[in-house]
Amino acid sequence: MAKRPTIGVLSLQGDVEEHLHALRNADAKARGVKTAEDLEKVDGLVLPGGESTTLAIVLERFGLVKPLRELAARGTPIWGTCMGMIMMARSVVGSSQPTLGFLDIEVKRNAFGRQVESAELRLHIDGIEGKPFPGIFIRAPWIERAGRDAKILATVDDKGVMVRQNSFLGTSFHPELTNDVRVHRYFVEMVEQALVKG
Amino acid sequence: MKNKGTKKVKRGLAQMLKGGVIMDVTTPEQAIIAQAAGAVAVMALERVPADIRKEGGVARMADLEIVQRIMDAVTIPVMAKARIGHFVEAQVLQAMGVDFIDESEVLTPADDAYHIDKREFTVPFVCGARNLGEALRRISEGAAMIRTKGEAGSGNIVEAIRHLRQVNDDIRRLASLPTEELVSVARDLGSSIEIVRDVAKAGRLPVVMFVAGGVATPADAALCMQLGAEGIFVGSGIFKSSEPEKTAKAIVAATHFFDDPVKIMEASKSIGAPMAGLEISQIPKDQLLAGRGW
């Protein structure tokens, strides 16, 4: 059996502990990462939920944009939840906020509305078997437009809320706030496959 | 099926704010400065606590026009304060669409016996606490987030540290007790046995806990984080300092890199003078805010 992959969770701001916990339950080793050196030591990376405006400023200020781009260019799998998906998008509707552009999608921030519109919804996800997945949407974005290579895996009211493009994964919702590890397991498998390919 | 305002969704927003700084602002211009400095949310107010303290009188929910203009100015979540027990102020703030309500001892309490039943609301609430009993009573009432009270508007971190250590000590003690002792502890804490059992088992509160009340410097913020706070509220500390923009950025950096003294040192350089501080013993007893709430 292949060795368990090590997956980093960017631990500057957001729900880091929840992701570490869920990744461990999904049979991965998990650690918080904060610096360029930390990023060298992981087989996969999660950008957690948090505030995208805040993270964009912090990544820029502490010189993490270039190391993240290099990580992505090496083919290391990266998954962004909510804020993380916004950071991975090509662009944000009505905003000049800088993003990393790993996913060929345009996202709409706070697309469902302010916090009072935040909700739990059941989702059918392509590639995840069994009962519907409990989607927790908190001031969540949706995918307004997706390029040809960006495959939408789940929708709410015809809007994309989960996307995969090669080694990159994005979700509008927060699997880390549930006890259901199927999406974490899906990502761990992406990382395992990338390791096998080398 | 959509399901709004569930416990998970309310507590979840607080989880998204972890590791961040929430700043008090009184104008849209200040809100924009706070956002640009990296704040994860802003608290919309009419007066910061230091001014409430100075000017006296009854402090109420902010002017709704100010709150609305702040909501329109930024993309990060906007919080607003309601008086303790004033559930109609809370209803109004929810109707406006604020993202979080702080049922706050900084405002003059509207009810001297009861807090708001926060379970009834779709919007999440944050409440202050000085110890575990107070925190658990607020959580039982539906609070989705706790902040230690500290002493707002004092620029003095000592009360915040006392409250943070107290809550953490209380939790550690609970976690070490044999289970048969938990019922009478729950009675002493004035809290339900179910929630006491949960805390004893998990070794932490079931909601996110930030620190508030007295943070004035980057080192203050990092001290709270090293002592186990999950994030920071800064009230008067930003806009009562000599260089608000620099102070805001520095406190954000020290919060993110709280365990890296070199980064805290770099953040602390050339940021001007912090707000003036008050010795707690010099504040008249009837003007101490932390004792409000029951």
Shortest alpha-carbon distance between residue B203 and chain A (Å): 14
Report d(CA A51, CA A87) in Å as an integer: 10
Q: Kindly write down the DSSP assignment for every residue of B120-163, as one continuous string.
A: G-SS-EEEEESSHHHHHHHHHTT-SEEEE---TTS--THHHHHH
**Beta carbons within 10 angstroms of residue B113's beta carbon:** 7
Of A58, A62, A116, the CB nearest to B97: A116
**Beta carbons within 10 angstroms of residue B83's beta carbon:** 24
Confidence of residue A2 (pLDDT cuts 50, 70, 90): low
Q: Where would I find the H helices in chain B?
A: 7-16, 28-37, 49-55, 64-73, 87-96, 132-140, 158-176, 182-189, 193-202, 218-226, 236-239, 244-256, 261-268
Report d(CA B68, CA B72) in Å as an integer: 6
- Residue B2: the pLDDT is 60
Asked if A115's CB is within 8 angstroms of B13's CB, the reply is: yes
pLDDT in tens, A142-168: 999 999 999 999 999 999 999 999 999
- Residue B56: the pLDDT is 87
Structural contact between residues B13 and B100, judged by C-beta atoms closer than 8 angstroms: yes
Asked if A11's CB is within 8 angstroms of B9's CB, the reply is: no
Phi, psi torsion values for A82, nearest 5 degrees: 60, -100
Q: Is the pLDDT of residue B1 over 50?
A: no
Structural contact between residues B10 and B16, judged by C-beta atoms closer than 8 angstroms: no
Of B10, B16, B98, the CB nearest to A15: B16
**Does domain A6-197 bear CATH number 3.40.50.880?**
yes
Q: Could you tell me whether strands B3-4 and A119-123 are parallel, antiparallel, or unpaired per DSSP bridges?
A: antiparallel
- Residue A1: the pLDDT is 52
Taking the Cβ of residue B218 and every Cβ of chain A, the question of whether any pair is shorter than 8 Å is answered with no
pLDDT in tens, A18-39: 999 999 999 999 999 999 999 9
pTM for the predicted model, two decimal places: 0.96
Of B1, B3, B75, the CB nearest to A109: B75
| Of residues A114, A76, A78, the one with CA closest to residue A194 | A76
Catalytic residue check, B4: no
CB pairs under 8 A between A and B: 120
Phi, psi torsion values for B240, nearest 5 degrees: -105, 5
Mean pLDDT value across residues A114-132:
96
Task: Please give the DSSP secondary-structure letter assigned to residue B276.
Answer: P
Q: Is the pLDDT of residue B294 over 90?
A: no
CA distances from A124 to A49, A135, A152, B9, B63 (A): 21, 10, 12, 20, 44
Q: Where do the structural domains in chain A lie, given as residue ranges?
A: 6-197
**Beta carbons within 10 angstroms of residue B141's beta carbon:** 17
Structural contact between residues B61 and B92, judged by C-beta atoms closer than 8 angstroms: yes
Taking the Cβ of residue B93 and every Cβ of chain A, the question of whether any pair is shorter than 8 Å is answered with no
Report d(CA A118, CA B3) in Å as an integer: 8
Phi, psi torsion values for B253, nearest 5 degrees: -60, -45
Structural contact between residues A87 and A52, judged by C-beta atoms closer than 8 angstroms: yes
Residue partners of B194: CB distance under 8 A and separation at least 6: none
Catalytic residue check, A174: yes
Asked if A115's CB is within 8 angstroms of B16's CB, the reply is: no
Confidence of residue A197 (pLDDT cuts 50, 70, 90): confident
What tokens appear for B21 in the block?
């700084």
pLDDT in tens, B145-197: 999 999 999 999 999 999 999 999 999 999 999 999 999 999 999 999 999 99
**Beta carbons within 10 angstroms of residue B44's beta carbon:** 28
| ipTM for the assembly | 0.95
- Chain A residues near residue B40 by CB distance under 8 angstroms: 13, 50-51, 54
CA distances from A78 to A83, B103, B136, B204 (A): 13, 39, 38, 30
Confidence of residue A97 (pLDDT cuts 50, 70, 90): confident
- State which H helix or E strand residue A182 sits in: helix A182-197
Structural contact between residues B279 and B288, judged by C-beta atoms closer than 8 angstroms: no
